Amino acid sequence: MINELLIIIFAPLVAGVIAWALDIKGLRELIGIVGAAVPLAYLAKLYPTVISETVDYSLTISGFTLQFQLNTMTWYFATVASLVGIAMAFGMASTSKSSYDWLFALMSFTGVVGVFLSQDFISFFLLWELMTFASFMMVLRRNRHESLKYFVLSVIGAYAMLIAIGILYAKTGALDFESIRQAMYIDASLGTMSTRETVLVFALFLTAFGVKAGAVPLHVWAPGAYSETDQSYTTFFSGALSKAGAYGFLLLYILMGYKLYATLGTFHGHLTFAYIIAWMGAITVVVASFLAVLQEDIRKLFAYSSVGQVGYILLAFGVGSTLGLAGGLFHVLSHAVFKGLFWLVTAAIILQTGKTQFKDMGGLARKMPFTFAMGLIAVLSLAGIPPLAGFASKWLIYEAAIQAHMPLVAGAIFLGSGLAFAYVVRFLYSVWFGQRPSDLEDVKEAPLPLLIAMAILAIPNLVFGVAPGLVTEYLNKILGGEVVGGDYYRLVTPTGTYNALLVTIALVIGIAIAGLVYLYGARVRKIPVTNTYQSGNPVTEEFNLSIRRNFYRPLAEALEFWLKYSWDRFYERLAGLTEDFADSLRQAFYNGNVQSYSWYLAIVLLILALWGVL
């Protein structure tokens, strides 16, 4: 009997390999979906066990002991990833036409779930690399430049992590999380690990996890990588894979939280190390949201938006209170479901129209009504409209940040949510409303598997929005105490309340009253889009009345000064310089001149002589 944890982790990979090897149309989709469904089924089955005890499994390979554990927190992350994973599989059944995609998409599924369940750095790092590699391969197929950018940054992150693990291993002699945690806890009072080493390890881990989470200034890979791949896969890429970074920050708390507190102390009443994470998050939220508003490509817009939303998670974790952790963990779920949904909607649009630029689209709401409804749910959830999941999690983050007396960080959330409003409306306007370009006349509704995938992610948006207590009750179990009170429908923090059900009811009552006024009025007559006010002039189909380009031009003008600076260009320049340097090195040393090679030999001999070897 194979252990359940192994099945959870490796079922997708096995299914991916089978689907790739068989490569029979129809069958590979079926195998892929089944493989993606297995983890969720097992996680659901293990739920009653997990809430009372942990499920452990360890396995010895080449002298290393790999440990996996399912506890309340890892179960939560793994379930979120599996939920997005199954939606991805359904989506890919429509959008992906090759077995290559199935292999690597499911491989990264394994990587992500494995990272969440790992309890030691060996398996953590191995699966982390598997996840990076698989996602890199997904991007590589479409765009080499973007994939290499992603790969190089990921490698920098991964090896920063490897060095940090090395230092920790040298200091503690352990690789499993539990021993490291205890050793760090004891070390906080002993202080054998110097301040400099602690700061170094912290900085290395920040780099490692910051790259995956897409924190500014390590976010530059995200817009390219998120857009240059199968959009159904991006559901998982941005919905679950970016959470590995967020999970890493949480791991930092678990392993080294106390040690970091003892070493770095506090800053104006905040934990210094957490404060750094909070500001990283706040800057990410603001920068990425501003950039999202100014994008002209539907995929780029959501890529930046995804970076910004992960910033909220980092910010919430950085608040440092248990309420902040609860808010961040809730946002992990809600971001996964609404952003996953967004990418599926994008996948449907791109699949049916073949276009990605806002300037080519418009008036699709008539042609794809179900997709539009799903997109609207995602929009409302992301913008934080009360009875949806996105609001509940954002509300917790607001409460946490303001209660922890981080006013400027909380100000960043306010600004970020205003910007979120702006960019989702841009998406609504340019894609769904207005005049329809004549080449989109025969667009059809998205295929069934994609619609199923959307429904899988739309339902949690609604359910956890109206009943956020379902989530917070579980989060209380993770955090070990009554962090967020209330019942299924009501969230209660020490200083505030939010009754989602009542808000829903009030909204329904309000809409009902407004609807009655509407019905009382005279009958309506439907007129076409072109029958419209144009300063009293007649309009025909040839006029393009929808503003599709540079919608937020005034904002770009107001931000002119800031937009002159770009991390993207900075990295490109750095890469260019490195390349030139490597080139000049090659030309200087391997110059083809025999005499210079003999000179090298002479110099080496001279050094050895001076050293006293000869």
Partner 1 sequence: MIDWKLVLEVIGILIYATFMGFIFMGIERKAMARIQRRVGPPIYQPIIDTLKLLGKKESVTHGFIYDFGPVFAMGASIAALLFLPIANFQLFSSNADLIVVAYMLEVPMLGIMLGAMSSGNPYSAVGVQRGLLTMVAMQLPYGLALIALIQHWGTFKLGEIVALQQTQGWSITVPALLLAFIVFDIVFQALLGLEPFDIITAPAEISMGPMVEYGGKHAALLFTQHAIQLFAETAFFAILFLGGASNLLELLIKQIAVLFIAIFVASIYPRFTIDQAAKFFWKWPTILGIIAVLLTV
Scan residues 444-503 and list those touching partner 1 (CB under 8 A): 490, 493, 495-499, 502-503
Instruction: Give, for 55, the enclosing helix (H) or strand (E).
Output: strand 55-61
CB 274 to partner 1: min, Å: 17
Q: Which is nearer to partner 1, 152 or 425 (CB)?
A: 425
Length of the chain: 614
How buried is 244 (Cβ within 10 angstroms: 0-12 exposed, 13-18 middle, 19+ buried)? buried
- Asked if 562 touches partner 1 (CB under 8 A), the answer is no
DSSP code of 217? T
Residue 423 · residue 368 · CB < 8 Å: no
Q: Is 155 one of the binding residues for partner 1 (CB under 8 A)?
A: no
Which one among 239, 434, 449, 465 touches partner 1, defined by CB under 8 A? 434
Q: Which stretch binds partner 1 (CB under 8 A): 37-45, 117-125, 470-478, 505-513?
A: 505-513
Least Cβ distance, residue 565 to partner 1 (angstroms): 17
Cα angle: 599, vertex 600, 605; to 5 degrees? 95
Compute CA distances 240 → 76, 96, 243, 328, whole Å.
12, 19, 5, 14
Q: Are 135 and 100 in contact (CB under 8 A)?
A: no
- In the chain, the largest separation of any two C-alpha atoms, in whole Å, equals 105
| DSSP calls for 455-503 | HHHHHHHHHHHH-THHHHHHHHHHHTS-SSBS-SSEEE-SS-EEEHHHH
Binder among 27, 507, 605, 609 for partner 1 (CB under 8 A): 507
Q: How far is the CB of 555 from partner 1 (least distance, A)?
A: 6
CB of 512 to partner 1, least distance (A): 8
**Residues of span 267-296 touching partner 1 by CB under 8 A:** 268, 293
Distance CA 384, CA 316 (A): 16
Residues 293-332 close enough to bind partner 1 by CB under 8 A: 293
Q: Which of 41, 415, 470, 563 binds partner 1 (CB under 8 A)?
A: 415
Answer for which of 2, 190, 524, 614 binds partner 1 (CB under 8 A) is: 524
Q: Which is nearer to partner 1, 444 or 526 (CB)?
A: 526
The reply to whether 564 sits near partner 1 by the rule CB under 8 A is no
- Residue 509 C-beta: closest distance to partner 1, Å: 7
Q: Which stretch binds partner 1 (CB under 8 A): 45-53, 341-349, 465-473, 516-524?
A: 516-524
The nearer residue to partner 1, 155 or 547, going by C-beta atoms, is: 547
| Of residues 483, 503, 467, 284, the one with CA closest to residue 389 | 467
By CB under 8 A, residue 399 contacts partner 1 = yes
- Find the shortest distance in angstroms from Cβ 367 to partner 1: 12
Considering only the stretches 46-54, 246-254, 427-435, 443-451, report the one whose residues sit in contact with partner 1 under the rule CB under 8 A: 427-435
Q: Does 419 bind partner 1 (CB under 8 A)?
A: yes
Number of residues that bind partner 1 (CB under 8 A): 79
Q: How far is the CB of 488 from partner 1 (least distance, A)?
A: 14
Region of 236-244, 276-284, 418-426, 600-608 interacting with partner 1 (CB under 8 A): 418-426
Q: How far apart are CA 330 and CA 351, in angstroms?
A: 31
1, 2, 190, 527: which one contacts partner 1 (CB under 8 A)?
527
Angle between helices 272-293 and 407-427 (to 10 degrees): 30
Residues 6+ apart with CB under 8 A from 179: 172
Q: Contact between 513 and partner 1 (CB under 8 A)?
A: yes
Using CB under 8 A, which of 43, 92, 278, 383 touches partner 1? 383
| DSSP H helices in 320-468 | 322-353, 369-383, 389-403, 407-427, 448-466
If we measure between CA atoms, which residue out of 429, 417, 422, 411 comes closest to residue 391?
A: 417
Distance of CA 540 to the CA centre of its chain: 44
Tell me: does residue 525 bind partner 1 (CB under 8 A): yes
Neighbouring CB atoms inside 10 A of 301's CB total: 25
**Using rule CB under 8 A, residue 246 touches partner 1:** no
Cα–Cα distances in angstroms (integers) from residue 370 to residues 337, 360, 373, 432, in the given order = 17, 21, 5, 12
Q: β-strands 64-70, 266-267: how paired? A: unpaired
- Nearest-CA neighbor of 239 among 108, 143, 119? 108
Minimum CB distance to partner 1, residue 98 (Å): 37
* β-bridge mates for residue 39, sequence order: none
In 10 A of CB 581, how many CB atoms? 10
Q: Which is nearer to partner 1, 322 or 493 (CB)?
A: 493
CB atoms within 10 A of CB 94: 22
- Pick from 512, 594, 613, 614 the residue near partner 1 by CB under 8 A: 512
Residues 338-367 that bind partner 1 (CB under 8 A): 363, 365-366
Residue 78 CB, shortest distance to partner 1, in Å, is: 31
56: which 2 tokens? 């452990």
The verdict on 34 binding partner 1 (CB under 8 A) reads: no
**Binding test (CB under 8 A) with partner 1, winner from 6, 152, 156, 555:** 555
Pick from 20, 330, 391, 464 the residue near partner 1 by CB under 8 A. 391
